[in-house]
Structure 1
Amino acid sequence: MNHTSQTFFTRANTGVSENYELLKEEHEVAVLGMPQSSAPVTSTVINIRSDTSVPDHVVWSLFNTLFMNWCCLGFIAFAYSVKSRDRKMVGDMTGAQAYASTARCLNISALIVSIIKIAIVIVLLIIFSEVIFGAFRR
C-alpha cells in the first residue's frame, strides 16, 4: 500500500512567507487608492425650481376689489387668486393654473366693465354740463 499522505496547502506548507502576503495587500491598497482624508464626506443638494411659475394675480385682484369692484367681480377674482396661491403652496400646479386663469378672466372683466362705466360717466358729465351751460346762456 502506498502511504502517501495528502498535504494541505497552508502558508506554512506552501513556503510563502507572511511578509509576502502583507506586501501584496499593501500593493493592492496602493493601486486602488486609500482614502485621502478621514473627514466625513459632505454632499450638496441643489433645488432647481421649475421654469413654469404660475402667477396668482393677487395684487391685481386686490386693486380691483378696492377700486373697481363692479358687481363684486374684483372680490370674486381676489378669492380665486387666494385659492391659486394656496394650490401653488401645496404643489398642485394644475389646480393653481386653473384658479389663476379664472382670476385673470375675472380681473379683465372687472377692468373692462369699470373702464366702460368710467367712460359713460365722463360722457354723461360732458353732456349734462353742456345742457346746463346752454340753459344759462339763454
Structure 2
Amino acid sequence: MNPVGYPTENVALQGYPGQPGHPGHSGHPGGPMVQYTSVNITSEVPRDHVIWSIFNFLHWNPCCLGLVALVYSIKARDRKMAGDMSGARNYGSTARCLNIWATVLLGLIALLFIIGMAIQVNHVVYRKKF
C-alpha cells in the first residue's frame, strides 16, 4: 500500500529511454543515455534607429554625431537586409549610443541658449539707470 492507502500496481512505461529498442537506450545495463533538446529562439529584429539619426543630423548636428549616427544606422540597415543579424545589432547599438550623445548635447545646447537669453532679457529689463 502507498502512503495514501490505495493499492498500487506497477505499469511498464512505454518509450522510457532506458528500455532496449528506444533511441535513448545506451546499450548497457547501467542506465539510459542523456538526451538533450535544442530550442531555436528567434530574437527580435535589431533596430537601426534611422529616423532618430536623421532627426539628429538635421537639427544642429552637434559635433557631427548626427552624421556619424546616420552612417552607422545605414550600415545596420544594410546588414539587416543581408541577413547578418549580429552585425546589424552591433551597428544599431553604436548608432543608438551616438544618437543618445547627440540628443543630450542638443538638449544641453538648447538649455544653455535659453538660460543665456533669459539672462540677457533680465539684464535689459532691470538695467539700472544712472
Q: Which residue of 2 aligns with 1:17?
A: none
1:53 counterpart (38, 45, 49): 45
The aligned counterpart of 2:77 is 85
CA distance in 2, matches of 1:125, 1:89: 47
Corresponding residue for residue 12 of structure 2: none
How big is the shift at 1:133? Answer: 1.3
Q: 1:104: which partner in 2?
A: 96
- Alignment partner, residue 128 of structure 1: 120
Is residue 2:86 matched to residue 1:94? Answer: yes
Cα distance, 1:100 vs structure 2: 0.2
How many pairs does the alignment contain?
88
| TM-score using structure 1 length | 0.61
Return the letter of the residue paired with 1:97.
R
Counterpart AA for 1:130: N
Shift of 1:52: 1.6
User: Partner of 2:126: helix, strand, or coil?
Assistant: helix
The structure that is helix-richer by fraction is 1
Please provide the CA RMSD for this pair: 1.1
**Identity across the alignment (%):** 44
Q: Which runs of 4+ in 1 moved over 3 A?
A: none
Residues 43-62 of structure 1: per-residue CA shift (max 9 Å, x gap) = xxxxxxx4421110001100
Q: Which residue of 1 aligns with 2:9?
A: none
Q: Is the 8 A contact 1:68 1:111 kept in 2?
A: no
User: Based on CA coordinates, which of the two structures has the bigger radius of gyration?
Assistant: 1
The gaps in structure 2 that reach 5 residues or longer are 1-41
For structure 1, list consecutive stretches of 5 or more residues without a partner in the other structure.
Answer: 1-49
